[in-house]
């Protein structure tokens, strides 16, 4: 009789402790999930703010490397030029996203001779079927070290054809909601084609 009562109490204590452990585990996991979501939002916000500051720093800047490429390839004068710049260590999906945007631009750009795909690494030119129409260049030799440090990649750059200053930029990063920037970039190119 006494053993049975002791066993009942032990079972009640064990069940109570088990419920307490499960409750604490659940609360801690919910807290961790909320903290992870919060830190992810903060990270994306900081990344977006950093990109906005970087974009502002590039707009109206004249980078001689772009001018050297145009002169070297004896390209006729255009009102604007589009450069897509990437490095081999950039995210493959990000590079493809930029190339897809170039392909989209092709639908309303009158002459694709002003579109350049530039690899900043030697022997790393992307060859796929839809970008055969564009000039693919190994561009490291055209840019100074300062230029290379300034150009974060992968990056689409819209250049003024008269003074070679940057009109607009678009970063083709994944996991970053920069649709506003993308639509503004596309709109500026559409305006140039009117």
Backbone dihedral angles phi then psi of residue 84, each to the nearest 5 degrees: -110, 120
The residue whose two tokens read 């000039």 is 135
Collapsed DSSP state (helix, strand, coil) of residue 166: strand
Tens of pLDDT along 62-97?
Answer: 888 888 888 887 777 778 888 888 888 887 777 777
Share of the chain above pLDDT 90, in %: 0
Structure confidence at residue 129 as a pLDDT band (50, 70, 90): very low
- C-alpha to C-alpha distance for 37 and 74, rounded to whole angstroms: 51
Phi-psi category of residue 57: left, alpha or beta, with phi > 0 → left and psi -120 to 50 → alpha: alpha
Please state the separation of Cα 53 from the chain's center in Å: 15
pLDDT at 47: 66
Tell me the per-residue pLDDT of 132-182, one tens digit each, with 9 for 90 and over.
566 777 777 888 888 777 777 888 888 888 888 888 888 777 656 565 677
Locate 150 and state its tokens: 């300034």
SS3 99: helix
For the chain, the average pLDDT equals 76
Beta strand pairing call for 80-86 and 115-119: parallel
Q: Residue for token digits 């088990």? A: 18
Least confident of 6-20, 37-51, 98-112: 37-51
Which pLDDT score, from 0 to 100, does residue 125 have? 59
pLDDT for 111 equals: 67
Is 104 in contact with 138 (CB distance < 8 Å)?
no
Residues in Cβ contact with 119 at an 8 Å cutoff, skipping those fewer than 6 apart:
86, 87, 88, 125, 126, 136, 137, 138, 139
**Mean per-residue pLDDT for 127-136?**
59
If you ran DSSP here, which 8-state letter would residue 8 be given? H
Among 17-26, 115-124, 143-152, name the one with the lowest average pLDDT: 115-124
pLDDT at 176: 60
């Amino acid at each position: 009789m006494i053993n049975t009562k002791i066993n009942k109490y032990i079972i009640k204590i064990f069940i109570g402790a088990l419920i307490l452990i499960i409750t604490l585990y659940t609360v801690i996991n919910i807290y961790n999930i909320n903290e992870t979501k919060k830190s992810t939002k903060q990270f994306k916000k900081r990344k977006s703010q950093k990109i906005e500051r970087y974009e502002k720093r590039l707009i109206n800047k004249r980078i001689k490397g772009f001018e050297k490429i145009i002169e070297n390839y004896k390209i006729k004068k255009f009102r604007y030029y589009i450069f897509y710049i990437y490095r081999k260590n950039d995210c493959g999906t990000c590079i493809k996203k930029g190339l897809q945007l170039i392909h989209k631009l092709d639908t309303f750009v009158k002459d694709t001779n002003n579109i350049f795909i530039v690899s900043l690494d030697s022997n790393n030119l992307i060859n796929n079927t839809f970008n055969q129409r564009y000039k693919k260049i190994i561009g490291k030799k055209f840019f100074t070290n300062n230029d290379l440090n300034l150009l974060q990649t992968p990056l689409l750059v819209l250049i003024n054809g008269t003074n070679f200053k940057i009109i607009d930029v678009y970063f083709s990063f994944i996991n970053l909601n920069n649709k506003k920037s993308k639509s503004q970039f596309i709109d500026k190119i559409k305006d140039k084609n009117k």
